[in-house]
Structure 1
């Protein structure tokens, strides 16, 4: 009977233990308003925590996402990002927010967020959106005002204005620092450059074409990251 009890306890432990390590730990305080200087604070997620007694409503506030941004650039787009860098109260909360402006025919090129999924909603215009999975399946949709589309974490995705007027979209991401890796910018604009012979073989292009691409994606590129 005793051995049966021990076996039952071990079985219960085996069932519950995986769940005990599957989630992030709970916060030990209400918030951690991020500051860039120590001020006798605690260093958390790349920033020091302000003394909670000194926090104000402005630490949790951001304005300007109603403003149309200049999209006069090579991509015809601009992203305004609300993160822990400009909303200190977001530090440690695991969320961020962005506004994307698109000129007619503007786009945000193929990229992925290594630390975040994203949900994108259209407030003006029409966008063609989509993502490609690791087995090369393309999920794509044309979305209009009031529609939303989800990009799973780590999946290559893009958005392009396919309407006849400028477009605006808002995005929520489940990380205060989602990271953004643009495929073309990263591959052809790395510093130092990747060996053109290697890229020529990988992309099945001649070396001259690769070198031309690398010249287009040098430090002068004005892709707006978020």
Structure 2
């Protein structure tokens, strides 16, 4: 490749990269996925054909699955994701939603969303909420009913119910597929070589095995 072509190629990459760093803008009013493709793959930006728009109904744009919380896990946490797999009307619109409930003392473990910024609204309860920036500085405080906190894209964040009753949070994302990496599971449940983890965290083989059993998916 000539020097001139190389320069043009680099300029094109610089120009187009920002437009590829978030969900693309839709090119039509909406895209309800074909029923046979309406599965968990829908939220993954695979190429899913749109249903004929004349066959869309108002029910494609209404979701009633957030009325009640799910079942709490061992951490006292439950979350209901609202993405195109559950709510077809969201497809191609570049957004998604979650209802998160925390039992008394419940924890939403440190995690991050690689493709989205999240804004969280406390519907009920008192929640210790925060995130960690790239200098390892913690931004955290207790927020209550009616308050909102934002977690910048890609930064580790967390919540813990510090009240005396269950807490409910509604979270909104600027991506239809934000992705979630839960730190304990990503580290201890992913099959990383044990020797590395023992050295990185100062763990004995027995302690590591205990953590792996606890956080295996």
TM-score, with normalisation over the residues of structure 1? Answer: 0.80
1:89 matched residue in structure 2: 89
* Aligned counterparts of 2:36 and 2:59: Cα–Cα separation in 1: 18
Cα offsets for 1:144-186 (capped at 9, x unmatched): 0010000000000001100011111111111111110001011
Two-structure CA RMSD over aligned residues (Å):
2.2
* Aligned counterparts of 1:205 and 1:133: Cα–Cα separation in 2: 26
Matched, 1:202 2:200: yes
Which runs of 5 or more structure 1 residues have no equivalent in the other structure? 1-13, 220-226
1:72-221 to structure 2, matched below 5 A, reads: 73-190=73-190, 193-219=191-217
SS at match of 2:211: helix
Larger Rg computed on CA atoms? 1
**Residues 115 and 175 in structure 1, CA contact (< 8 A), matched pair in contact too:** yes
Cα offsets for 1:66-125 (capped at 9, x unmatched): 223332x31111101111001111111110111111110011100000001100011111
Count of residues in correspondence between the two structures: 197
The CA deviation at 1:60 is 1.2
Distance 1:137 1:59, change over 3 A: same
Moved beyond 4 Å, runs of 4+: 18-21
1:66 matched residue in structure 2: 67
Distance 1:61 1:178, change over 3 A: same
2:3 matched residue in structure 1: none
* Aligned counterparts of 1:21 and 1:110: Cα–Cα separation in 2: 29
Structure having the larger proportion of residues in helix: 2
Q: Which moved more, 1:62-71 or 1:161-170?
A: 62-71
**Residues 161 and 167 in structure 2, CA contact (< 8 A), matched pair in contact too:** yes
* Aligned counterparts of 1:194 and 1:105: Cα–Cα separation in 2: 30
**Residues 32 and 49 in structure 1, CA contact (< 8 A), matched pair in contact too:** yes
SS at match of 1:49: coil
1:3 matched residue in structure 2: none
